[in-house]
Amino acid sequence: MGKKNVKKTETVSNKKIEKIAPKKVEKESFFNKVVIWLKKFFSNRVNLIITLIVLIIIIGVILFFTLRKKDDKFALNELYNYFPEDVRKIYSNLVSVGCNGDLHFNIEVGKGKVDVDKIDRNNLIDYMFSYLDKNDFLVDKMDDNVFRKAEKELFDADLDLINDIKNYNYGEYTYNLSAGKVTRKKNQCETVEKVPVLHLYGYSGTKELSIDVNVAYLKDGVLYDYNDKMLGEYDGDVTKLPKLTSDVSYYRLNYVNKNGNLKLTSIEWKNKS
DSSP 201-231: EEEE-SSEEEEEEEEEEEETTEEE-TT--EE
The pLDDT of residue 36 is 82
Please write the tens of the pLDDT for every residue from 31-40: 787 778 878 7
Average pLDDT over residues 21-39: 68
Tell me which long-range contacts 215-223 makes (C-beta under 8 A, separation of at least 24). 215/104, 215/245, 215/248, 215/249, 215/250, 215/251, 215/269, 216/244, 216/245, 216/248, 217/104, 218/101, 218/194, 219/193, 219/194, 219/195, 223/197
The H or E element that residue 268 is part of is: strand 261-270
Mean pLDDT of all residues in 122-133 = 96
pTM, 2 dp: 0.72
Q: Determine the Cα–Cα distance for residues 242 and 223; give it in Å rounded to an integer.
A: 12
pLDDT at 5 over 80: no
Q: ∠157-162-166 over CA atoms, to 5°? A: 140
- Of the candidates 123, 160, 133, 167, the one whose C-alpha atom is nearest the C-alpha of residue 266 is 123
Q: Give me the pLDDT at residue 132, please.
A: 96
